Amino acid sequence: MGDKGFASTRAARGRLVAVGAVALLLAGCGGGSDAEAAALDKGQVASVLPDAKAVPGWRNYMKPEAQKPVPEYPPPVCVARTKEQRETACAPVTSWGTAAFVRKADATTLNFWTLAYKDEKAADAAYDVLIKWYGGDRVGQNAEKVEIGSPGAEREANRAAVGTMAGPATIAQVRVGTTVLGISTGTTGKAVVPDKDVKAFAAMFAERAQQAQSGEKPSAALPGS
């Protein structure tokens, strides 16, 4: 699934606006404990997604937005290999949202998505399905693991030298309580988003999800904001 820039994924009452790249190839601060995890509503899912203030140095080209899933159109960021797996990972989604950024200097994109579930059991089962799609070499051939520390309850990140944007790309997935979080980067250039940056994205995003599930307003942000 090498990140293709993750264009807009907006569904409006039965109408799904094209996802462009997130057909995504169609392809630790995790803070707190899972005991505090709560199901998030649509507004909370939107609040978990980073805004421009939380990601300094990146220009927001798709503002954080969340929505309820439309039965006929599963969230485009929820992708699985089989119908049965889609039933496990996508059908139970209660709300989902996306946000996207770009770094103009080198045409690098940074994308975040959140899938919310009614409880941790559903989120855990969904994570196991989704990582079979987003994990391993889905980001591109000969992908290698990226060390991102220990955000959330489960996590994995991989990088490939050539993604669908023709340059280096990464995909990370993290489960925090009742949510499954996704992060991807991609570029048409040659600049690699460093491991430390991918780690920072994952830690910040996981902390925002934990804050929301603990009843707080998400405030975690990258240094410099």
Instruction: Identify which of 155, 62, 160, 71 has the alpha carbon closest to the alpha carbon of residue 111.
Output: 62
9-18, 33-42, 57-66, 139-148: the lowest-pLDDT one = 9-18
* φ, ψ for residue 97, nearest 5 deg: -160, 165
- Is the pLDDT confidence value at 199 over 50? yes
Question: What pLDDT score was predicted for residue 17?
Answer: 29
Question: What pLDDT score was predicted for residue 164?
Answer: 85
Residue 170, classed as helix, strand or coil, is strand
Read off the pTM: 0.85
Arithmetic mean of pLDDT, 189-201: 95
CB-CB neighbours of 46 under 10 Å: 22
- Is the pLDDT confidence value at 4 over 50? no
Quote the CA–CA distance of 146 and 170 in Å, as a whole number: 8
